[in-house]
Each structure stands twice: as C-alpha cells, then as structure tokens.
Amino acid sequence: MGEVKLLGGLGFSPYVNRVEMALKLKGVEYEPIAEDVKNKSPLLLQHNPVHKKVPVLIHNGKGIAESLIIVEYIDQVWQEGPPILPKDPYQRAMTRFWAKFIDEKCIIATWKACCSTGEEQEKSKEESMEALKFLEDEIKGKKFFGGENIGFVDIAANFIGYWLPIISEVKGVQLITEEKFPNLWRWMNDYCNDNFVKGILPSKDALVERFKSK
Amino acid sequence: MSKVKVLGFWYSPFVARVKMALKMKGVEFEYVEENIRAKSELLLESNPIHKKVPVLIHDGKAIVETMIILEYIDQTWEGPPILPRDPYHRAMARFWVNFIDEKCLNTMLKACWRTGEEQEKWKEEAILNFQILENEIKGKKYFGGDEISVVDHAANFIAYWFPLISWGRMELVTEDQFPNLWRWSSHYCNHPFVKDNLPPMDVMIPKFKPA
C-alpha cells in the first residue's frame, strides 16, 4: 500500500494520537517521526506549508494535514480493516457532525476552562458545561459514540476522554464528574480502559509533567 | 410533502452552496425561507444545537453544517461528483474547504466589523490568508483545475459577497495585490451554472452594501 510516515508521532498531541489510533485500527505499518515545535523539520514545512502543524501523514510521498481529514483519508484508503466511519450516509453525516462539534465547541472551551483565568475562565466554564451536556445526551445508552466499537467520534473525543481529566487534575478544575455527567464519565472509563486505546495513549505521568509547566 | 427540503436564508453563501449541490445532482427540493429574527419550529427542531441554516431534510431526517450536507448529497445521489473520488484529492479538497471556512471567512468578517487596533490585527491576518489562496489559485482557472469544484464553491463568499460587504470600508482583495484571486473571482461569478444560482445583484446590493 506504499510507504507511510506520521510527522508528530511519538509525541503528546491528542491530534497526532487520533491519527495513530486510526492507523493502528487498520493495522497499517508506519514510521513515526518526532517533530520539535520550536524547530520544525523541512519535511513538515514542505508538506504542511499552510499551517506548519502536526499531525501530517505522508503516504507515497504525498502529505495530508488536519487530524480528522487524515483519519477520513485512512478510512477511505485502507478498506480491509474495521470501518472508522459508518457506511450509511445519514449515520456518516451525524458522525461528522459530532466530531466537528467536539473540535469546535468542546476542546477549546474545556482547555480554556482549565487553563485560563478570571472572566475568560468563567465564560469558558459555562460554555464547557453547555457543550458537555450535549455530549452526555449523545452517549446515553451507547458503549461508545461509535456503538459497540470505537469509531470516528470516539477518536475525535480522545482529548475529552484522556487529556482533559489529566489537565483537570493538574489545574484543579473539575469539569466532568460522575455526578454531573454520569454517561460521559462511564464512557471515559470504558474508553481509557479499552485494551486497544490503552496501548496507544501517551503515559499519564509524562502528560502530567507537561501540563504542570503550562 | 416534499422528500427533500432545504431551510435557508436567500442571502446566505452557505445555503447557496447546498442549493447548487442539489441542482448539480438533479435533485428536486422544496426551499423554505427562514427568518433570522423568527426561526421556525422546524429549524429549531432540526438543528437544536446550532439553530442555523442551511438544514437539509431528507425523508424526515435533518442534516446540518454546509460541508457535511454536501458530503451527504454526494454520497446519496448519483450524478457528477461534488468531491473528488481519489482519496488524496478528496483530502486536499476537504483541507482547502476547511481553510476557507474556518480561517478565511472568520478573519475577513472580523477585519470588516471590528475597529481600531483589533481591526488592524484582523486585516493583517486576512491578508495572510488571501496570500495563501493567491498562491493556491496561481496557474489554475479554478481551485478545482479546469473545472469548478467544491473548493471554488466554498470560496463563493470571497468572490461574490465580500466585495459588497467590504466596498467603501476597505479594499482587502485588490487586483494589484491579488491578481490571481481577482481573475478567479471573475471566472467564478461568470460561470453559467454559478451565475444562475447566485442571489441577484439587485437584491444583494441593498442588503450588503454599506449605505
């Protein structure tokens, strides 16, 4: 199927992690290449000249950027592995909707709710609560957002499932509690304890150290 | 009852993209004009989270968010492809649509509506984004190459709406600075299919042009 490289591999980014999850779900062999954000490689600048960010997937010499676009690409190219997005057009549309919702409404708001201060923090906390309530409703009655198996939305929600609780702990800002969001709480535990996911997530200690310094 | 409905505002570039995609596929649909100050029950039920247009309702199921609707239309109906079939070109199309929708539109509107120092900052960013698009369109008739593509439609705001909104306020996309984007805008707006489907200038001017 051609040579596959992942720029940003071996790091701590949830966006890179999404791509790693997709590649591993499909059983694709790839070469992870670490990137230094303070000293970006010529390969990164060549293949993502617009944003100059990781992750970038290089497949047969061609670069694809933006984590969810890469995951969709992987799903389309490697048809033999388990499907990441549903085949049904309506289900597919709903899956994309929730992934976009997580990216646009949940990640930035929850990050700011933990890491900013004053009025910005208060506003972000409110926005987070509102966004998380929608996710809470969406996960009700389902093991994963993808149903019985991990899917596109679960991959997109990796920040919520793993990074956010760690940041919350480090910064002392509790957003998702069992009391307030029992379904999301259950999903987080199932997600982080899933054998497949567990094997791909970066070490908690390393992330704690990273966030302590932010 | 119509099988396919589109809820929209006549002046929205996002709604225009959806209507064009349905027409490309030869899909008959019922268009429902919404009122931004009095959104219908149907809109609020179909898009409870964002409460925005466009909304596509097909067989009673609602799909929202412009690009998600376009991908749904492409997957559901036969006819000319809206997105490239090749995985790499499809990924690149999605990348550019994302860039235009998330980066360009946002910075352009803020450059128009903010004031003072903040406006200057957004103007600079908008110009940087235009430079990226200028490079991308160089040597090509359309973003899609010889044929108009989903990326061209995503940039419809730049070709048709923005010149009206920014007229008299500022000249951001000048022919001097952005000759390729300027040329592309003209090709896009004069493309026979596009021309037939853009809201007519005589109703756009009173709506958008500053007094």
pLDDT per residue as tens digits for the range A160-211: 999 999 999 999 999 999 999 999 999 999 999 999 999 999 999 999 998 8
**B90 is written with which tokens?**
């499809």
Question: What pTM does this model have?
Answer: 0.95
Q: ipTM more than 0.85?
A: yes
Angle made by CA atoms B83, B86, B88, in degrees to the nearest 5: 95
For residues B75 and B69, give the distance between their C-alpha atoms in angstroms, rounded to a whole number.
Answer: 10
Of B68, B75, B132, the CB nearest to A97: B68
Q: How many other CB atoms are there within 10 angstroms of residue B138's CB atom?
A: 12
Q: How many other CB atoms are there within 10 angstroms of residue B19's CB atom?
A: 17
Name residues whose C-beta falls within 8 Å of residue A8's C-beta, 6 or more positions apart in sequence.
Answer: A15, A16, A33, A34, A35, A54, A55, A56
Interface test with B, best of A15, A94, A103, A136 (most B CBs within 10 A): A94
Residue of A nearest to B72 (CA): A89
CA distance B128 to chain A (A): 10
For residues A17 and A154, give the distance between their C-alpha atoms in angstroms, rounded to a whole number.
Answer: 12
Please name the amino acid found at residue A89.
P
Where helices occur in chain A by DSSP H, the ranges are: 14-25, 42-47, 67-77, 89-101, 108-115, 118-139, 152-156, 158, 164-171, 182-193, 195-198, 204-212
CA B77 to chain centre: 21
pLDDT in tens, A27-85: 999 999 999 988 999 999 999 999 999 999 999 999 999 999 999 999 999 998 899 99
